[in-house]
Chains A and B, each alone.
Chain A
Amino acid sequence: DADVTQTPRNRITKTGKRIMLECSQTKGHDRMYWYRQDPGLGLRLIYYSFDVKDINKGEISDGYSVSRQAQAKFSLSLESAIPNQTALYFCATSDVRQANTGELFFGEGSRLTVL
């Protein structure tokens, strides 16, 4: 089983619908992140959380919200989806104790299409 699991893996929805993407991890890491990837733009950071009580905006947080329900769970919500939120979304974790590299561990991605 994957250490960082995202659900759903694929979702097609309509403009105006509320969507939640969920991420859970079994790595025991404190830090969790949400990125979106668009063709030719690399990955852009949406939100990140350093622990359950700490939520921070990234580069492109407008139109998104997050919830850190527990150390292992970090969900991303689109309150009213719009077509330009069509993208591949990645959840990632890192270990605050892994001071050597700060390595990010990514999930397999959630492909969202907004019609």
Chain B
Amino acid sequence: LAKTTQPISMDSYEGQEVNITCSHNNIATNDYITWYQQFPSQGPRFIIQGYKTKVTNEVASLFIPADRKSSTLSLPRVSLSDTAVYYCLVGDRAPGGKLIFGQGTELSVKP
């Protein structure tokens, strides 16, 4: 299983763009990159998933370089409600049971 490394914490201010980078040097050919968001005392919530290049949805963008050894979650114009822990996961998307959550990145958005 690919191990992921991401910053433990980040600070930002309302209205800024936030980029959280995740390293996954041992990513396998079949692995996808998935990001989850977790608010205090709630279960994680799926944000976005990608395999290569760029993926965008209504919540975020995911940038994946050609070598796929890292990925960057981009949150445009964050608000206070984006304060949460963000997890980067790498693995087969189908089995699900092999998705391993790391420590995540605690994002704090300040006014």
Binding site for B on A (CB under 8 A): 4, 31, 33, 35, 40-45, 48, 50, 56, 58-59, 88, 90, 92, 94, 96, 99-109
B76 contacts partner chain A, Cβ-Cβ < 8 Å: no
User: Hey, which chain B residues are within 8 Å of A96, CB to CB?
Assistant: 94
* A109 to B42 CA separation, bound complex (whole angstroms): 7
B14 contacts partner chain A, Cβ-Cβ < 8 Å: no
What count of chain B residues pass the 8 Å CB interface test? 23
B82 contacts partner chain A, Cβ-Cβ < 8 Å: no
B96 touches A99 (CB 8 A): no
* A88 to B85 CA separation, bound complex (whole angstroms): 15
Binding site for A on B (CB under 8 A): 32, 34, 36, 41-46, 49, 87, 92-97, 99-104
Which residue of A has the minimal Cβ distance to B103?
Answer: A42
Nearest CB of chain B from residue A73's CB, rounded to whole Å: 18
* A48 to B91 CA separation, bound complex (whole angstroms): 16
Among B34, B41, B101, the residue within 8 A (CB) of A35 is B101
A41 touches B46 (CB 8 A): no
User: Hey, which chain B residues are within 8 Å of A100, CB to CB?
Assistant: 93
- For this complex, 10 residue pairs linking A to B, each with C-beta atoms less than 8 Å apart, are A42-B103, A44-B101, A45-B97, A50-B95, A50-B97, A56-B97, A94-B96, A100-B93, A103-B49, A104-B44
